[in-house]
Every structure is written in structure tokens, then in C-alpha cells.
Chain A
């Protein structure tokens, strides 16, 4: 049985100041095997974050079900950890304090909090910065803290919502490579949302392409590039072909979006 089983998932949001509902995600079915790295791409507003937050247990399901290791998701749990796009770090806590935060919230009892936090901080390459405050760090470093905080609670499933979305292209590439290096250690199941095509291919075992109105899965693409990967795969022929295929998908989505705008 797959580790994550999503069936007929639908999520409705209530429109502000009215009783009307609007469907952000509908009819989504997806299964993710243990240890699989799945990236989710699609134009903005197609429900990528909504889907991810549903798996995190942070938004209520309107239809269907999400099961993790056979158990229905009804809320957040210690089997999952989220890395958000916005540097959602507590500005009054140091790097170490922030990494400990998740452990504290989970009433973690697996040993010394400080040691566990420091180990993760070193893993993401911030050993020398453990006493820094978030405002003293660059955007890339802050996202490393976010990743360390999520890894510290040792989740079964790692959920990432455009964690590198706010970074410049170069930092983003470095972070992608770093993330793979860390992931290779124990190959945790990962769901990673991005709108960057190269990033989606580079990280993935499987790419989920989403479309809009309402958010649905258009295609699931297997990626068979060899691991461990480094920047060299970016120049391989397989990579180019995948990139072309994804581009076509997203271009389609963009043009239908423009049509909608012209009609409206």
C-alpha cells in the first residue's frame, strides 16, 4: 500500500462575505510511495498550496479522503512536517530556538532538545549561525532554518510549499542541490510544490502537473534520471525532453487563463 493515498479529494472555500462556495481543488486522486520525492507544478492559483495544506491537516476536506499509512488525516500530526514559503520563523527566537520550536510544540521526548536541534542546524550547514536571529540571516539561510525545523521532528513525510520561491535563481539552485543531499540520507517521502520547471524535474521521482478551475491533476510524469543527482543532469537529454513536455503543459494553462481574462 502506498504511504499517501488521496482519493476524490475536493476542497471548497467560502467566498468572502457570502454563502457561496468555490471549489479550489476537486477530484484529486494521488498515491505516493514511501521514500518517493514528488513535485507538484502548475500555474499560480491552481490549488497546489491547498492540496499540500490538506495533506498537512491544515485545511478541512470537503470531499474525499487523505490517508497516510492507512490512517485518515484529520489534522496536523507528528508524522508530517511542513516547510512554508514565507520565512515563518519566530523573529524573537534564535536559529536554535526556532529549530527547537517544532520539537517543543510536539512535546518531543526523544532526547535532548538542544542536541537534536544543533544536529539539524549543522546538517543544513548553519552550525556557526545557531545563535543568530532570523533578521540577521539571508533569505536562503532562513529557508535552511525552516528545513532544519521540519527535519528536527523526524517526520515520515516532508511537505514543502515553494520553499525556495522567494530566492534568486542562483541561491535557488544551490538550495535544490543541498536539499537533495540532505534527502539522500534517509529518503523521506516528500511533497514539494514549485512553479519552477527545472526545480520540479531536478528533485522529482514523480511530477504532478496541476490545472485550474477547479484545481485538478492533469498528468503525473515519472522521472527516471539517475540518483544521486547534481547540476550535470540539467544538461542531459532526458532532462531537456521533460522540460519541453512540462513547458507545453504550462503554456496551455497560461493561454486558457488569458482567454478567461479576455472574456471576463
Chain B
């Protein structure tokens, strides 16, 4: 019974164990005097500081600011990425026209545009949203494009044999068939959007987790800084897990080979 449960949840259990192990090791390494707590703090101190920051409202303010920018950037990237991806996947001319921008984005680090956005939009929220938008856009666009473009030819032909028009093939065959790969793009996009927000906040913001990390970092207050770092990690894990869950809901017909 227990053995069976273990095998079914093996990945989850092993992953949890290794995380717990890391935290314990972290605590021991500092308590045992192997590492100076100044560099890395300790789990117990971080927890205590978390409670303090939680009670004085810093956590809510920073998480709120970060999530606000995240939601806007992810929302815009989802709409733009899916629309552009659908157009480019269906019309090869659109794909060819957009190709240089994609190469541009792959070869140049997105943060390099930061000063440009500051010049256009000023320091703060709009610039953060713009940077995170660019971070998240590529995987959403690329996955939507490949989903539509790689529409199963046999299915399209079967549809045509029943008199389907191009319009039908797009909406009834290509689009539903692309949902799983689009969801995978959104999952990648979520991680990228969060990274984009935090990175942009590191450079210039007056609220947010990235802002808190730089602020306490510059004051050399490691424990206070670690609180925000840990929250960023947890947020990333939670958001990505939510998307993974939705993804598995949409592509059961692809992964489940039936029994």
C-alpha cells in the first residue's frame, strides 16, 4: 500500500525530500560555523524575518506590486502572443515577416532594451510591464505558431473531405489541436514574465519583490533580502504548477495512451 503510493508519487516525494534536505543542510552549515551567516543567513532567521515583514505589511505590498506587474505583462503577452502566433502559423507570409524580430529577440538579451523603455516610459511600473511582456512573449508566440503550423495533415484532409472550408479547418481542427502546445507556451511564459518583472524591479522600482531584494541587498541585510528571494522562488513554483495542472487538463488525449 505505502510502497505503491510511493511509486506513484515518487517524483513528488523525492523532490520534496531533496528540498527539505537542502534547507536542513543550509541551517546546519551555518549553525556548525562552516559558512558565515552574513552571506546566506539561515532558514530559521529567514522565517522569523518573514513573520516580521508579513505583520508590518511589507510582504503584501511587495507581492502585490510584483503580481500587479506580472498580471499585466502576462495578460498582454498572452493576447499578443496567441494572436500573432495564430496569424503566423496560418499565413506563412506573416511568419516570414515576423521572423527577423524573433531572431532579434533570441540573440539580444531583452534587458538590453531596459534603458530604452526607461527613456520612453520612465522608471517604474510601465517599464517593468514592458520588459516582462517581452520576456513572456516569445514562448507563447513560438508555441502557438508551431501548434497551428503543424496541424495534423490527415485531420485537415479528413475535414476537407466533408466539405470543410479553410475557416472550419482553422477553428475546428488547427486551433483545438494546438491547445496543449499553447498551454505549454503559457507555462513557459509565466516563468519568464515573473523573471522579467523581478529583473526589471531590480533596476528601478519603488515597490515589489525585486525592489526589496536590491534595497536590502544594498544595505547588506542578508536575512531581509532572503525573505523576498524565497518568496520569488515560491511564487514561481506555484504559478508554474498551476499552469502545469491546466496543461495536463487540456492534453489528456495526447499524453494518456489509454489502458
Question: Would A78 and B163 be within 8 Å (CB), given that A84-B154, A90-B155, A92-B176 are in contact?
Answer: yes
Contacts of A134 in B (CB 8 A): 253
- Report the minimal beta-carbon distance from A233 to chain B, rounded to whole angstroms: 31
Asked if B9 is at the interface (CB within 8 A of a chain A CB), the reply is no
**Among all A-B residue pairs, the 10 with the closest Cβ atoms:** A88-B158, A105-B162, A102-B162, A82-B161, A91-B253, A105-B164, A88-B154, A135-B258, A136-B258, A86-B154
- Report the minimal beta-carbon distance from B191 to chain A, rounded to whole angstroms: 26
- Report the minimal beta-carbon distance from B92 to chain A, rounded to whole angstroms: 17
Name the interface residues of B215-259: CB closer than 8 Å to any CB of A.
252-254, 256-258
Complex interface bits, B170-188 against A, C-beta within 8 A gives 1, otherwise 0: 0011001101000000000
Q: List 6 A-B contacts (CB under 8 A).
A: A81-B161, A82-B161, A84-B157, A88-B154, A91-B254, A133-B258
- Report the minimal beta-carbon distance from A80 to chain B, rounded to whole angstroms: 8
Question: What 5 new A-B contacts, CB under 8 Å, besides A106-B162, A134-B253, A137-B258?
Answer: A81-B161, A84-B157, A88-B154, A91-B177, A153-B162
Across the interface, do B157 and A92 meet the contact criterion of CB distance under 8 Å?
A: no
Could you tell me the distance between the alpha carbons of A133 and B257 in the complex, rounded to whole angstroms? 11
Across the interface, do B253 and A133 meet the contact criterion of CB distance under 8 Å?
A: yes
Choose from B160, B172, B177, B253 the contact partner of A58 (Cβ within 8 Å). B160
Across the interface, do A135 and B256 meet the contact criterion of CB distance under 8 Å?
A: yes
Which secondary structure dominates chain A's binding surface? loop
Name the interface residues of B115-165: CB closer than 8 Å to any CB of A.
154-155, 157-164
Across the interface, do A101 and B162 meet the contact criterion of CB distance under 8 Å?
A: yes
Across the interface, do A77 and B163 meet the contact criterion of CB distance under 8 Å?
A: yes
- Report the minimal beta-carbon distance from B22 to chain A, rounded to whole angstroms: 39
Across the interface, do B162 and A135 meet the contact criterion of CB distance under 8 Å?
A: no
Contacts of A86 in B (CB 8 A): 154
Contacts of B99 in A (CB 8 A): none
Across the interface, do B159 and A105 meet the contact criterion of CB distance under 8 Å?
A: yes
Contacts of A91 in B (CB 8 A): 177, 253-254
Across the interface, do B173 and A58 meet the contact criterion of CB distance under 8 Å?
A: no
Asked if B168 is at the interface (CB within 8 A of a chain A CB), the reply is yes
Write the residues of chain B forming the contact surface with A, with a CB cutoff of 8 angstroms. 154-155, 157-164, 168, 172-173, 176-177, 179, 252-254, 256-258
Across the interface, do A106 and B163 meet the contact criterion of CB distance under 8 Å?
A: yes
Could you tell me the distance between the alpha carbons of A78 and B254 in the complex, rounded to whole angstroms? 31
Asked if A56 is at the interface (CB within 8 A of a chain B CB), the reply is yes
Instruction: Name the residue in A57, A78, A91 with the highest tally of chain B Cβ atoms < 10 Å from its Cβ.
Output: A91
Contacts of B155 in A (CB 8 A): 88, 90
Asked if A76 is at the interface (CB within 8 A of a chain B CB), the reply is yes
- Report the minimal beta-carbon distance from B163 to chain A, rounded to whole angstroms: 5
Instruction: Name the residue in A56, A57, A105, A136 with the highest tally of chain B Cβ atoms < 10 Å from its Cβ.
Output: A105
CB-CB nearest in chain B for A138: B258
Choose from A80, A88, A153 the contact partner of B157 (Cβ within 8 Å). A88
Could you tell me the distance between the alpha carbons of A200 and B104 in the complex, rounded to whole angstroms? 58
Across the interface, do B157 and A58 meet the contact criterion of CB distance under 8 Å?
A: yes
Name the interface residues of A117-172: CB closer than 8 Å to any CB of B.
133-137, 153
Could you tell me the distance between the alpha carbons of A82 and B163 in the complex, rounded to whole angstroms? 11
Across the interface, do A82 and B158 meet the contact criterion of CB distance under 8 Å?
A: yes
- Report the minimal beta-carbon distance from A55 to chain B, rounded to whole angstroms: 11
Contacts of B160 in A (CB 8 A): 58, 76
CB-CB nearest in chain B for A134: B253
- Report the minimal beta-carbon distance from A15 to chain B, rounded to whole angstroms: 19
Question: Would A105 and B253 be within 8 Å (CB), given that A88-B157, A90-B155, A90-B173 are in contact?
Answer: no
- Report the minimal beta-carbon distance from A49 to chain B, rounded to whole angstroms: 11
Could you tell me the distance between the alpha carbons of A57 and B173 in the complex, rounded to whole angstroms? 20
Contacts of A56 in B (CB 8 A): 161
